[in-house]
Amino acid sequence: MSALAFSTPIYSTKLEKWENVQKSIKQHIDEMNFEMIPEWGQTHYLSPNNFKSDVIEKYHLGTLCGEIDHHLRLYCSELNFNPRDANCTSYELKSWFTKFEKGNYAHVHNHPGSDISGCYYFKTNSKDGNIFFQSPNPYLNTTRCYMSLGNTINYTPEEGTLLLFPSWLNHGVKTNTTDDIRISLSFNVFFK
């Protein structure tokens, strides 16, 4: 008998109310000031860039907040994690928008200090740079029998799709080689 051990859960779903979410974001997207973080180089644009704000709250994106809450509960259920059993009575969200123009990318990084991270794809042509996740197992390439398991997994962005994943998981975004701009909303969940 074989069993899968030490798996890394990545949750992906198309939001049921994604068209309503799109409309609410469209009302505010032109108000946003996107900037690069100079220390990162010419990677991609963020709004805001301090990672301490919550654009979901700032722009009153209630439908998106409700969808994130619903799918966060489903994801936690799949993890066999009940926040109340862990003495967590609530959670806090920090969120920001990212913009990728032609030539932009996101370096490999993770989100230390938070519990779960996520991304909602607002605007994409699905060819403007896949998000990729690196295996947390650095030994997959050390023997031939495990090389086929791969070191990275790619997800093609699609408008209206929500991803949830462990905040400690290294990830990045491949270079946007198209002339189109991609905009997504990223967020971190902090259980309290």
Residue 122's pLDDT is 98
In the DSSP assignment, the letter for residue 9 is -
Give the pLDDT confidence score for residue 146 in this predicted structure. 79
The Cα-based distances of 16 to 77, 79, 82, 126, 182 in angstroms read 19, 22, 24, 19, 21
pLDDT score, position 144: 83
pLDDT at 24: 96
The whole-number pLDDT of residue 2 equals 62
SS (H, E, C) 52-65: CCEHHHHCCCHHHH
Residue pair 31/55 in contact (Cβ under 8 Å)? The answer is no
pLDDT above 90: percentage of residues in the chain = 72
* DSSP β-bridge partners for residue 189: 93, 116
pLDDT for res 4: 62
pLDDT digits (tens, 9 = 90+) for 97-154: 999 999 999 999 999 999 999 999 999 999 999 999 999 988 887 888 877 777 889 9
Angstrom distance (rounded) from CA 85 to CA 108: 33
- SS3 state at 101: coil
Q: What integer is the mean pLDDT of 30-45?
A: 91
The tens digit of pLDDT for each residue in 70-112 reads 999 999 999 999 888 878 889 999 999 999 999 999 999 999 9
3-state secondary structure of 181: coil
- Provide the pLDDT for residue 9: 93
Confidence of residue 49 (pLDDT cuts 50, 70, 90): low
Report the mean per-residue pLDDT for the chain. Answer: 92
